[in-house]
Amino acid sequence: MRRVAISSWATSKFVKDSKLSLFELACEPCVEILKDGNVSRKDIDAVMFSSCTTEQYSSTIVSEMLGMRPKVSHRIDNLCNSGTNAVASAFSLIASGLCDSALVVGAEKTDSSGNKLLWDITRGSFMFPVHWAAIFAKAHMRKYGTTEEQMAMVSVKNHRNASKNPKALFDKPVSLKEVMDSKKIADPVKLLDCSAPCDGASAVLLVSEEKAKKLTDSPVWIKGIGQQTNSASFANATADLTTIESAKLAARDAFKMAQVMPSQVDVAELHDAFTILEILAYEDLGFAKKGEGGKFVGQKEIAINPRGGIIGCGHPVGTTGVAQVAEIASQLAGAAEKRQVKNCKTGLVHNLAAAGSSATVIIMGA
Amino acid sequence: MIGTLLEFTSSHIKDKQGIFGIVEMSGIKIVGSFDSMQLKEGMKVKMSECGVGPDGTAFYRFVKA
């Protein structure tokens, strides 16, 4: 299998009401990559478009709008997990030798009709994602004594990090009191425990080792990928309501492939669509012991969600996983400006879909 | 049908207010509503009503068994 690097990346400003169409939005970070990335349109062998749009032929439309004629062009949709699924597919194309380069583009508008999972009737009339998040949070509190304050601290940290990220939807820190006093949505989840849907786009360019040498002096390597799909429904996602089983299995495979231990990770982007998910991720990824995720909030060993995570940046569903990968690439290349984590060598991306029914974990290295 | 209540909490979202929980029945897990807060994880419950609401979404209601 050939080595695969990320040679360049770009992310648009995440906003609530972009005046751009979905396809215009998708082109924005790609044009930035083409301007700054030392790569020409004819060098792109594949375009993978990650979005929950129901627009047909969308990847091919984005390719044409960018003036590209790639060998391979697909749209990938797997709800919130779409972005890293697209990265995994691009990785496979290059590792196998089918392509030398693949541009992964994530773009989403708040009103993308494919953002909602209507198929899962096991949720009855409680179909909002916050309902399953509340169930996870309640179960973790009951079994392990995790507190509402510990969950709120995740939001405080991620909003603080987002305030250093010019691309984030939210640019102001929030206090613990503000999170605790925010509107109750589904006990114990409050408004500021939740991420917000928004418009945004992100792109990363994956290349073969040979091509990476020509394009950049500081490639970021994809060292391990793990993916697991357990179900489409909340009901069948996990047997234990205090664990995202798909993430645990994806992490096991990613760490094995990368030959890295959780203790070696310096920086991570975790899927914090709700604060409880970041706490579950600490445990599922092996950063904290089972049941001790709540106490892990505020630790200083690993920089978690330096861009602000999903809570601070906003959640353009099909874009999120790509933006997470772009952030870790930026951190490992030492290009994250005000939010740069010092001396980071190993990074991790954790991306989930619908109640953790599927998960992807990607491990990257400088 | 009798099932086991795995976890429950309450929703404050407009038109979705009330107590809801996840119930396991014959190996199938379903999220439904409860009228009473006198609940405990692990207790036996039974489905009292199910159907499709005016907005086209399925609904399930449970009571103590």
What percentage of chain A carries pLDDT values higher than 90? 93
Across residues A122-143, what is the average pLDDT? 95
Domain match, A204 and A189 both? no
Domain assignment of residue A132, yes or no? yes
Range of the domain at A91: 4-114+198-219
The enclosing domain of A153 has a CATH number of 3.40.47.10
Whether residue B62 has pLDDT greater than 90: yes
Measured CA to CA, the distance from residue A171 to residue A168 in angstroms comes to 6
> Strand ranges (DSSP E) for chain B?
2-11, 18-25, 28-34, 44-52, 58-64
Q: What are phi and psi of A244, to 5 degrees?
A: -95, 100
| Phi and psi angles of residue A274, each rounded to the nearest 5 degrees, phi first | -135, 150
Q: Kindly state whether residues A71 and A146 are assigned to the same domain.
A: no
Mutation site, B13, B30, B31, interface A, largest A CB count within 10 A: B31
Return the beta strands (E) in A63-146 as ranges. Answer: 72-76, 101-108
Q: Which residue has the higher pLDDT, A112 or A26?
A: A26
Please report which confidence band the pLDDT of residue A84 belongs to, taking 50, 70 and 90 as the band edges: very high
Nearest residue of chain B to residue A136 (CA atoms): B7
Check whether B19 has a pLDDT greater than 80.
yes
Do A16 and A98 fall into the same domain?
yes
The mean pLDDT of A184-201, rounded to a whole number, is 98
In a domain, A122, yes or no: no
Nearest-Cα distance to chain A for B41, in Å, is: 10
- Based on the structure, what is the number of domains in chain A? 2
Residue A171 sits at φ, ψ, to 5 deg, of: -115, 10
A59-71 tens-digit pLDDT = 999 999 999 999 9
- Which residues on chain A are in Cβ contact (under 8 Å) with B16? 125-126, 128, 131
pLDDT of A133-176, one tens digit each? 999 999 999 999 999 999 999 999 999 999 999 999 999 999 99
**Mean pLDDT of the region A19-29:** 97
Verify that A56 and A146 share a domain, yes or no.
no
Domain spans of chain B, in order of start: 2-64
Is the pTM for the entire model greater than 0.95?
A: yes
pLDDT digits (tens, 9 = 90+) for B28-60: 999 999 997 789 999 999 999 999 998 888 999
Residue A280 in any domain: the answer is: yes
Q: Calculate the alpha carbon distances from A201 to A39, A129, A176, A178, B36 in Å.
A: 20, 22, 30, 29, 45
Polymer length in residues for chain A: 366
Which of A164, A186, A219 is the last residue before a domain boundary? A219
The ipTM is: 0.96
The reply to whether A179 and A305 lie within a common domain is: yes
A123: in domain = no
Residue A121 falls inside a structural domain: no
Task: Provide the pLDDT confidence category of residue A112 given band limits of 50, 70 and 90.
Answer: confident
Assess whether A72 and A163 both reside in one domain: no
